[in-house]
Structure 1
Amino acid sequence: MGLLNLPDPIFGAIDGGMESFLPATVRLIVWATIAGIGTLFLYRLVSPQSRIGNAKREARAARQRLNEFDGEFSDAGPLIRNQFLSAFKHLGLVFLPTLVSILPLLALLTWLESYYAHAMPADGATPTVQVTPDTYDAQWVQQNDAPHVIVNDSDSELANVAMTAPIPVIEQRQWWNWLAANPLGYLSAESGIERIVFDLPEPEYLPFGPGWMRHWLAVFFPIMTIVSLITYRWAKIE
C-alpha cells in the first residue's frame, strides 16, 4: 500500500454506503463537494491566516508604491527589492500549508481513478488481454467465482492475478509505487512478465457530450472548482 492509499478503506466504506441510494454521477458530485470544502478548510486550519493576511497586504502596498514611483529606474532598487521580499514572504507562508492540505485531495483522486475510471466487464463478457512480452499466453477466466487473469508460457503458469478492482494494467513494481500502489498488486521480476493490459469498459457519467466529457474527471473537477471558490469567498480564507 502506498502513502496515498492509506485512506482507501475509508473512501471505500463511504462510497459503499452511498452506493445503496445514490447513482455514480451523484456520488462523484458528493465527492467533489467534500474535496472542495475539505481542502480549503484544512488549509485554513493548518495555515497562519493572520500572518498570511498581513503578508498579502504588505505585498499589495509594496506593489502599489512601485507602480506609483515616477523617478529614475536606478532609484527604484529598494522598491523592487521590497516587492520581491514581500512576495516571497507570502509564498513562504502558504507553501507548506498548501502542500499539507493537498495531500488528502491527491489521495482521493488516486482512489477515484482506481474505482471510477474503469469498470469490471459485465457477467459473461471477456475483455481483451495483452501481455508483454507477447510470447506469453494471457487469459481472462472465472476462478473461484471471481475473474482472474492467468499468464502461461509453454511449460507452466507464470502469473495468476485476482481481478479485485477495475484496474486496466498490472506491471512490475516501480519506484513511485511507494506513493500510489496498484490495488491488484505487482508482477514478480522472476516471472519475466513486464506488463498486462486489460481492455476494461470506461463508464460514462454524463448522458451528453463527446466521450472525453463523460469521464469522471469532467464531473469532478468543475464541481470541485465551483465549490472551492464559493468556500474561499464565504469563509474569507487568506
Structure 2
Amino acid sequence: MGLFDLPAPLFNALDGAMATVLPAAARLAIWAVFGAVLTMFLYKLCSPQAKIGQAKREAKAARQRLNAFDGDFADAGPLIKNQFTTAFKHVGMVVPGTLLAILPLLALLLWAETHYGHTLPPSGVTPEIATVPDGVATSWSNGAEPARLTVGDASAPIAQFDMTSPVGIVTKQPWWHWLAENPLGYLPDDAPVDQVHIDLPVLEVIPFGPAWMHSWLFVFMPVMFIVSLAIYKWAKIE
C-alpha cells in the first residue's frame, strides 16, 4: 500500500456508510466540502499567516512604487529589484504550507478517481483492451466475480489480474509506487509488454446532460472550489 493509499480504508468505510442514505453525487459533494475545509485550514495552520500578510503588503507597495515611477528606465533598477525581491519572498512563504496542505487532498483525489472514476462492464461484456507495444494477446473473463484479465496466451500467460477495482491501466512497477500503488498489481519487469489499457465505462455520477457532465469531477471540483473560496474569504487566509 502506497503512502497516499493509507487513508483509503477510512474513506471506503465512511463512503459506504453514506451510501446507505445518499446518492453518489451527494456523497461527492460532501467529500468536496471535506477536502476544501481540510486543505484550507491545514494551509492556515502550516503557514506563517502574519509574515505572509506582511510580505503581501510589501509586494503590493513595491508594485505601486514601480507603477508610479516616471523617471528614466536606467534609474528604475532598484525599484524593479525590490518588486521581484518582495514577490519571491511572498511566494517563498506560501509554497511550503501549500505543499503540506495538498498532501491529504491528493490522497482523497486518488481514492475518488479509483472509487468513482470508472466501473466494470456488466457480465458478458468485454471491454476494449490495448497493449503497449501492441500485438500482445489479451483475454477477459467475467463469467465469475471478479472478472479476470489475462495478458499473453491463456496457456502460458505473462500475467493475470483479478479486476477487484475499476482501474483502467496496468503497467510495470514504477519507481514512485510507494506513493500510490495500483490495486490490481503490476506486470513483471521482464514482460514483453509495458502497459495494458482497459477501456472501462465511466461511472455516471450525474445520469443526465452531455457526456462530459457525467464524471465525478463535475461534482467534486466546482463544489471544492466554491467552498475553498468561501473559507478563504471568511477565515481571512493570507
Query: Normalising by the residue count of structure 2, what TM-score does the alignment of the two structures yield?
Result: 0.90
Residue 146 of structure 1: CA displacement?
2.6
| Aligned position for 2:38 | 38
Q: Provide the secondary structure at the position in 2 that maps to 1:150.
A: strand
Q: Aligned runs of 1:104-183 on 2, under 5 Å?
A: 104-122=104-122, 124-130=123-129, 132=131, 133-143=134-144, 145-153=145-153, 155-183=155-183
Q: In the alignment, is the contact (CA less than 8 A) between 1:137 and 1:153 conserved in 2?
A: yes
Deviations 1:10-48 (A, max 9, x none): 222221221111111111111111111111111001000
Deviations 1:36-74 (A, max 9, x none): 111111100100000001111111111112222222222
Q: In the alignment, is the contact (CA less than 8 A) between 2:140 and 2:147 conserved in 1?
A: no
Q: Provide the secondary structure at the position in 2 that maps to 1:76.
A: helix
Deviations 1:85-106 (A, max 9, x none): 1111111111111111111111
CA distance in 2, matches of 1:138, 1:194: 17
Residue 194 of structure 1: CA displacement?
3.4
| Aligned position for 1:84 | 84
| Aligned position for 2:224 | 224
Of stretches 63-72 and 188-197 in structure 1, the one that deviates more from structure 2 is 188-197
Q: Provide the secondary structure at the position in 2 that maps to 1:218.
A: helix
Residue 171 of structure 1: CA displacement?
1.8
- Residues 72, 156 of structure 1: CA spacing in aligned structure 2 closer, same or farther, 3 A cutoff? closer
Letter in 1 for 2:141: W
Q: Aligned runs of 1:207-218 on 2, under 5 Å?
A: 207-218=207-218
- Residues 78, 196 of structure 1: CA spacing in aligned structure 2 closer, same or farther, 3 A cutoff? closer
Cα RMSD (Å): 2.0
Residue 220 of structure 1: CA displacement?
1.1
Asked if 1:66 is matched to 2:72, the reply is no
Q: In the alignment, is the contact (CA less than 8 A) between 1:150 and 1:161 conserved in 2?
A: yes
Query: Normalising by the residue count of structure 1, what TM-score does the alignment of the two structures yield?
Result: 0.90
The alignment of Structure 1 onto Structure 2 pairs a total of residues equal to 236
Letter in 1 for 2:166: P
Identity of aligned residues (%): 50
CA distance in 2, matches of 1:19, 1:151: 35
- Residues 211, 70 of structure 1: CA spacing in aligned structure 2 closer, same or farther, 3 A cutoff? same
Q: Aligned runs of 1:9-24 on 2, under 5 Å?
A: 9-24=9-24
